């Protein structure tokens, strides 16, 4: 099946749809049995998509987990109430006191905070590494290194990692390779083809796609799936069937949404590239983006999220730019149908072993599904306010 067809069919087994097009919303804490034999049978099949108790999963969560493994690959998909919960619980499932993990320096800030504030307290140490380290990761692997964690492209600054090279070396040392695959969305990057063991997504972003649900997923290869699944259960992780229904609905359009996000984002990035106020485009499909060659080699496409560095300016001019925007609202998220923007001045405060070279502020945009001309006009007016502010200071 080609990807577009998979997107339409994923998770829609007759087991979950009950004769209609979409899987039903099963709201349940309690699953009831009439006989001891039925109850024993359900318990015996608890790892086999059989309903035993709401927290263990319902037909709606089985449908969504199936959909994610059909799209992303792997042997199974554990579900969490947020992307952050998926990251923290996936790591927790595989480490114990005395272990060490390697974390990419450009990881999503809450991922770093978890390492520094939670894992550290439990006696699990973290070494941060350069996202562009490639084969040199080997020198950082210790005897007690259990997990090598990647996020590609990196948060904010969009460095694309050489995932297959890092994975191969990690495996030589018996480390588990985990990837935050939120940007690839399981559509534009197929993690298990590149040596990843556990692929994590903030389904909150493109899977849900409409900015109305928090949800996290972790899909795993056969070897690690039982441990991931069991620890998710042990930690009491479960998700609302209504949220899962919305995520299943989001999946049906993810292919066409991503194509449009990609097309509009590339148009706008090309327009920004010509602006004198812009020094550098940090979009994986542009050769100015670190790791662009790995994007070209490994990804099937891009989406609406990228950053750019300004060639001049200060905090006041950045504020003048951002404050008057109509279509770009400021928000700490992305992946919905709407455009979003963030002005960032302290990139180096959220990394520790690499230095991001930027004299002037950085802007991250999520290009939504609005008309591109309207978005360009909004940004052009922003640059006028920006330049007026600089001229007056």
Ligand X SMILES: *Cc1c(COP(=O)(O)O)cnc(C)c1O
Binding site for ligand X (CB under 6 A): 82-84, 108, 151, 155, 180, 182, 202, 204-205, 214, 216
- How many angstroms separate the CA atoms of 4 and 254, rounded? 9
- How many angstroms separate the CA atoms of 366 and 341, rounded? 6
Range list of β-strands (E), the chain: 76-80, 100-104, 125-129, 145-151, 176-180, 198-202, 216-220, 278-282, 305-310, 329-330, 340-344, 362-366
Q: Which one, 252 or 364, has the nearer CB to ligand X?
A: 364
Q: Which one, 59 or 239, has the nearer CB to ligand X?
A: 239
CB of 247 to ligand X, least distance (A): 11
Angle at the Cα of 109 from the Cα atoms of 104 and 114, rounded to 5 degrees? 85
**Between the CA atoms of 266, 264, 3 and 207, what dihedral angle is there, to the nearest 10 degrees?**
110
Q: Which one, 204 or 307, has the nearer CB to ligand X?
A: 204
CB of 158 to ligand X, least distance (A): 11
The residue assigned the tokens 């099963």 is 26
CB of 211 to ligand X, least distance (A): 11
Q: Decide the pairing of beta strands 278-282 and 176-180.
A: unpaired
Q: Which one, 214 or 254, has the nearer CB to ligand X?
A: 214
Q: Count of CB atoms within 10 A of residue 135's CB?
A: 11
CB of 201 to ligand X, least distance (A): 8
Of 208, 176, 173, whose CA–CA distance to 191 is shortest?
A: 176
Q: Which one, 71 or 85, has the nearer CB to ligand X?
A: 85
Closest-by-Cβ residue to ligand X is 83
CB of 139 to ligand X, least distance (A): 26
What does each C-alpha distance from 173 to 27, 68, 92, 166, 191 come to in angstroms? 44, 29, 19, 11, 19
Which residues are identified as catalytic? 55, 108, 180, 205
- How many angstroms separate the CA atoms of 178 and 30, rounded? 34
């Amino acid at each position: 099946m080609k990807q577009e067809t998979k997107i339409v069919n994923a998770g829609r087994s007759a087991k979950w749809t009950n004769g209609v097009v979409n899987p039903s919303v099963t709201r349940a804490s309690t699953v009831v049995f009439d006989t001891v034999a039925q109850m024993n049978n359900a318990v015996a099949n608890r790892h086999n998509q059989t309903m035993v108790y709401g927290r263990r999963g319902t037909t709606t969560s089985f449908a969504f987990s199936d959909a994610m493994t059909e799209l992303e690959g792997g042997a199974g998909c554990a579900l969490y109430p947020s992307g952050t919960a998926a990251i923290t619980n996936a790591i927790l499932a595989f480490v114990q006191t005395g272990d060490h993990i390697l974390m990419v320096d450009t990881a999503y800030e809450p991922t770093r905070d978890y390492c520094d504030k939670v894992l550290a307290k439990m006696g699990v140490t973290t070494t941060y590494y350069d996202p562009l380290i490639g084969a040199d990761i080997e020198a950082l692997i210790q005897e007690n290194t259990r997990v090598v964690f990647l996020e590609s492209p990196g948060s904010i600054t969009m460095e694309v990692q050489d995932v297959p090279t890092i994975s191969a070396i990690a495996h030589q040392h018996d480390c588990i390779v985990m990837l935050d695959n939120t940007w690839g969305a399981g559509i534009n990057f197929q993690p298990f083809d590149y040596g990843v063991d556990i692929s994590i997504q903030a389904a909150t972003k493109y899977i849900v796609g409409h900015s109305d649900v928090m949800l996290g997923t972790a899909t795993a290869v056969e070897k690690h799936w039982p441990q991931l699944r069991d620890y998710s259960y042990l930690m009491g992780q479960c998700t609302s069937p209504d949220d899962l229904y919305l995520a299943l609905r989001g999946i049906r359009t993810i292919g066409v949404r991503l194509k449009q996000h990609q097309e509009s984002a590339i148009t706008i990035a090309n327009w920004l590239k010509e602006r004198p106020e812009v020094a550098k485009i940090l979009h994986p499909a542009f050769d100015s983006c670190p790791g662009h060659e790995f994007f070209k080699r490994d990804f099937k496409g891009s989406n609406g999220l990228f950053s750019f560095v300004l060639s001049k300016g200060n905090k006041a001019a950045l504020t003048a730019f951002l404050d008057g925007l109509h279509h770009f609202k400021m928000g700490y998220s992305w992946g919905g149908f709407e455009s979003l923007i963030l002005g960032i001045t302290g990139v180096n405060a959220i990394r520790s072993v690499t230095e991001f070279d930027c004299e002037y502020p950085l802007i991250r945009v999520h290009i939504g599904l609005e008309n591109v001309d309207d978005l360009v006009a909004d940004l052009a007016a922003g640059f006028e306010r920006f330049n007026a502010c600089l001229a007056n200071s």
